[in-house]
Amino acid sequence: MTDPRYAEIETHRPYLLRYAVSQLRDAQLAEEAVQEALVSALESVATFGGKSTLRTWLTSILRFKVIDLQRRAVAERRTFDGGDAAAVAGDDSWLDEAFDETGHWRAPPRAWSDPESALEQRRFWEALERCLDALPPAAGRVFFKREVLGEDTDAICRSEGITPANCWVILHRARVALRACLGRHWFGEVGDGR
Partner 1 sequence: MADERPATDCREASRLLSLASERSLTQPESTALRYHLDRCLMCRNFDSQLKFLHEASERLRSGK
DSSP run (H or E) holding 16:
helix 13-24
Amino acid found at 158:
R
Touching partner 1, residues 8-67 (CB under 8 A): 12, 15, 53-56, 59
Q: Tell me which stretch binds partner 1 (CB under 8 A): 22-30, 34-42, 72-80, 161-169.
A: 161-169
Does 104 help bind partner 1 (rule: CB under 8 A)? yes
Of positions 49, 50, 103, 191, contacts partner 1 by CB under 8 A: 103
SS3 99: strand
Of positions 111, 113, 123, 191, contacts partner 1 by CB under 8 A: 111
Strand partners, 105: 99
Cβ nearer to partner 1, comparing 74 with 149? 149
Q: What does the per-residue mask of binding to partner 1 show for 119-158, with x meaning CB under 8 A?
A: x-----x--x------------------xxxx--x-----
Q: Tell me which stretch binds partner 1 (CB under 8 A): 39-47, 62-70, 72-80, 169-177.
A: 169-177
Phi and psi of 99, rounded to 5°?
A: -130, 145
H helices present in 76-187, as ranges: 85-90, 93-98, 115-118, 122-134, 137-143, 153-160, 164-185
Of positions 63, 98, 151, 185, contacts partner 1 by CB under 8 A: 98
CA atoms within 13 A on the CB side of 10: 5
Q: How far is the CB of 75 from partner 1 (least distance, A)?
A: 30
Strand partners, 99: 105
SS3 172: helix
Q: How far is the CB of 35 from partner 1 (least distance, A)?
A: 19
Residues 142, 174 contacting (CB under 8 angstroms): yes
Question: Residue 113: CB partners within 8 Å, gap ≥ 6?
Answer: 187
Question: By the criterion CB under 8 A, which residues form the site for partner 1?
Answer: 12, 15, 53-56, 59, 95, 98-99, 102-105, 108-112, 115, 118-119, 125, 128, 147-150, 153, 164, 167-168, 171-172, 175-176, 178-179, 182-183
